[in-house]
Structure 1
Amino acid sequence: MTDIDLALTRRDFPPGFLFATATSAYQIEGHSFGGAGRTHWDDFAATPGKVVRGENGAVACDHYHRWPEDLDLIAEAGLDAYRFSISWARVMPDGLTANPEGLDFYDQLLDGMLSRGIKPIATLYHWELPSTLAKRGGWTSRETPERFADFTDAVAARFGDRLHAVAPINEPWCVGWLSHFLGHHAPGLTDLRAAVRAMHHVALAHGLSVQRLRAAGVANVGATNNFEYSLPASETEADQAAARLYDGIYNRWFVQAMTQATYPDDVLEGFAPHMPERWQDDMATIAQPLDWFGINYYTCKRIAQGPGAWPDLRERNGPLPKTQMEWEINPDGLAHFLHWLPAEYTGETPLIVTENGMANPDRPDRADTERIAYLNAHLEVCRKAIADGVPLRGYTIWSLLDNYEWALGYEKRFGLVHVDFESLLRTPKASYHALARALTPG
């Protein structure tokens, strides 16, 4: 393969700008190891038709045993930080009771990062809800944010002094709407009332967790929300209104609650009949001060108004090149959010791109030129935003490894490193080598 370089290097960014990569626990660790408890993802995958070939995270990339090799890959790429997640069901298999093996695993992992000069950025929830709590209502129940706060206490007490940064919940829209209204992720519901309650309880869990982290003296606490650039599928008033509503549910619901202690009026109009009792009393808890705000960005969506019951928002095909996920490649959307968030919600709070990347049908014997081009385009957006005065402090590539892509099983490859899911052999891709040259130039 011919070497292909990234267009930008570390020298094109300010001193101290963090370059990172990310994974999540259930997607790579191997959940059948180390006494981890059953999760609602195990239950979802065991339901016929929910996940490609019924695949699950039982073995995944076996990071549980191969973590030293994976941390070496991060260090050898010249990356500054590693955004990982701490599995609730590994630390507390029933959602309540500590598992010493699980705690010991993360002890080793954190010490391994620090010994290699890698800054640990922890996510406390990347979707692996213990099945015992799922059976009691999961995110539709107010008990779950309260139990999540207790889990936060356990993590803070054991690991808090070694974390460079921490955020409670990864992509709250996915936890709430994607999983309870659209039904694409565990628990797979298509119930507006359940979705609305989950959307509020996830926000409350964020706020309670931030409070517990602060009380424990944990520093550098933030949030990690996902954003999609919402575009109308046509110029009709109906489609423009639909795109605005999609933007409200997807992009504005959580960030407005976290920063302004309110929900967007246009969304709340439809959600209000389904909200939990006395939800207004929770808003001050949700809006805790944050040290940084994370942006997960991948794509845009073109939205049309459907004929069905509210909100019936339909996605239409767009003209831009697409990834293996059939997501349009639209760096302009990242530029939009990098400027829009400080202007509307986050002010001078530092921003971090906490996920950005693409799925591609990569093989070890070919250069993944598509991923290199994707990284080039989005890094250039970051460089320009910084030049415009946006307080952007870091950029994180999803993902270090090809992994378990949730309902899509093991087919979609986001990794800088190719994983053979039979042998579990790791093979760095051309994009990994290009990144290493950019971060550690000769």
Structure 2
Amino acid sequence: MAFPKFPTGFLFGTADATRPGGEQDVALLQRLGAPGYRFAVSWREFQPGGRGAVDPDARARYDRLVDELLEAGLRPSATLYAGELPEPLVADGGWLNRATVDAFGEYARTVADLIGDRVPEWVPVQDPNVAGYLGYGLGTIAPGRRAGWGVVAALHHLLLAHGRGVQVLRAAGVESVGCANHHEPIWPLSEDPADVGAAKLVDLAWNAVPLEAMLMGRYPRDLAGLADEVVMPGDMAVIRSPLDFYGVNFFAPQRIGASAEGDEIPFRMVPLVGHPATDTGWGVVPTALREWLIITRSRYRAAMPPIVVTECGAAYDAPLVDGEVDDQARIDYLEAHLEAVSAAIERGVDVRGFYAYTLLDRDGWEAPFTGKDWEDGVGGKYGLVHVDAAGVRTPKRSFGWYADLVAAHAEGAPTG
């Protein structure tokens, strides 16, 4: 069997946005053979009040999870915030309130004190652009706010929390700290100047803001003035705290057109026609990942640390038939995107790892950063493992394919 080629030492793993599982899931990870596993600590469960007391059951569960991963020979990668904000902090304004950054710093220290000595890789804040723009701008994910220009404060505070988290984790002596930012190429609907302008605006806000803030300690020149009232002295230096890796969460490119008369926002998202789509309607364009990696590496050069694809996956709901799940579409998706990463590496991009999203189909909050998932609590089927209503796990064909891929690279077998 032929697989995409990767350099020696390339890290394969799986990622779950929230809700890490128990012993049976650790056993599945061990069976999969991928040495890395990304999980998120739920701030809402770990420290329900947002400050102060820690829930003892949650504390014990995360402590035990890390031990189980290490005993199974798996490299843990922990995320401190993946969209779950404690209710008291939401009531106080959430990320619109700068005090949430201070609360996050205290929370980061508490978690680092618990498991920082055993978890080598950390992400303080996942997808700050998603949490900021969709949570406080469009209001399509929790907390569902449409704060107008307040979205600028929310995003700045999320980025500041990222930087504060980096500093706290460094002080705790952890091995590696990075980010996991949602990025994608932004394509204009047409060559009409209005469409091109709208796409440029979205690209700046979505891609360039977190990139330039974290890597350069500044906001893009065309947008910088918008944040003047919320940026305090020293903020940008904190946000720019050095990273060991730059994590990219990639799913699909976006096509953007100019807004129509009467629209509340200055752009519109347009369906990506001419490409196959996943069950969530996201276009499948593997070359877009290669494009983003090559262009971004060229643009930021020495400022860009090694890159890790921290999430990449697709929602396909293949049925369980006679104890098997034939999800060939997911295999095709992962293979094509891994080939895109391999091609970027051949062009000189320093990519160190790839985390397939996700290990399990969840019966709860599968993908917290899509509006439908937040509203009804049920996400698309992204998992390598099918989970039925009773919680029974059944590895899909994609699970076996990914295990073979990992084994082939581990053994140094021909991969392509």
TM-score calculated relative to the size of structure 2: 0.91
Residue 91 of structure 2 corresponds to 135
| Superposed structure 1 runs of 4+ greater than 4 Å apart | 308-311
CA shift for structure 1 position 308: 4.2
CA shift for structure 1 position 127: 0.8
- Say which of 9, 16, 29 aligns to 2:9: 16
Residue 315 of structure 1 corresponds to 269
Identity %: 38
Gaps of 5+ in 2: 412-416
CA shift for structure 1 position 281: 3.7
CA distance in 2, matches of 1:133, 1:302: 35
CA shift for structure 1 position 337: 2.1
CA distance in 2, matches of 1:328, 1:99: 41
Q: Deviations over 1:72-96 (max 9, x none)?
A: 1111111010000111122211011
- Say which of 219, 237, 251 aligns to 1:298: 251
CA distance in 1, matches of 2:295, 2:72: 36
Residue 236 of structure 2 corresponds to 283
Residue 387 of structure 2 corresponds to 419
* 1:376 alignment partner, SS class: helix
Native 8 Å contact 1:293 1:346 kept in 2: no
Query: Structure 2 matches for 1:219-298, cutoff 5 A?
Result: 219-269=175-225, 271-272=226-227, 276-279=229-232, 281-298=234-251
CA shift for structure 1 position 428: 0.7
Counterpart amino acid of residue 269 in structure 2: E
Query: Structure 2 matches for 1:26-45, cutoff 5 A?
Result: 28=19
Query: Structure 2 matches for 1:73-88, cutoff 5 A?
Result: 73-88=28-43
Gaps of 5+ in 1: 30-62
Q: Deviations over 1:143-198 (max 9, x none)?
A: 01111011111111111111121010111111100111111111101222221110
RMSD: 1.7
- Say which of 321, 325, 328 aligns to 2:283: 328
CA distance in 1, matches of 2:155, 2:190: 29
Q: Deviations over 1:376-432 (max 9, x none)?
A: 111111111122221100001111011223442325110011111x21111111101
Q: Residue 350 and residue 218 in structure 1: after superposition, are their counterparts in 2 closer, same or farther (change >3 A)?
A: same
Native 8 Å contact 1:342 1:349 kept in 2: no
Residue 60 of structure 2 corresponds to 104
Q: Residue 280 and residue 334 in structure 1: after superposition, are their counterparts in 2 closer, same or farther (change >3 A)?
A: farther
Native 8 Å contact 2:184 2:252 kept in 1: yes
* 1:303 alignment partner, SS class: strand
CA distance in 2, matches of 1:102, 1:163: 17
Counterpart amino acid of residue 377 in structure 1: A
Residue 185 of structure 1 corresponds to 141
CA distance in 2, matches of 1:154, 1:263: 30
CA distance in 2, matches of 1:216, 1:367: 45
TM-score calculated relative to the size of structure 1: 0.85
Residue 378 of structure 1 corresponds to 337
CA distance in 2, matches of 1:111, 1:90: 19
Q: Residue 74 and residue 429 in structure 1: after superposition, are their counterparts in 2 closer, same or farther (change >3 A)?
A: same
Residue 392 of structure 1 corresponds to 351
Native 8 Å contact 2:178 2:244 kept in 1: yes
Q: Deviations over 1:9-62 (max 9, x none)?
A: 6xx32121100000022xx35xxxxxxxxxxxxxxxxxxxxxxxxxxxxxxxxx
CA shift for structure 1 position 214: 1.1
Q: Residue 130 and residue 320 in structure 1: after superposition, are their counterparts in 2 closer, same or farther (change >3 A)?
A: same
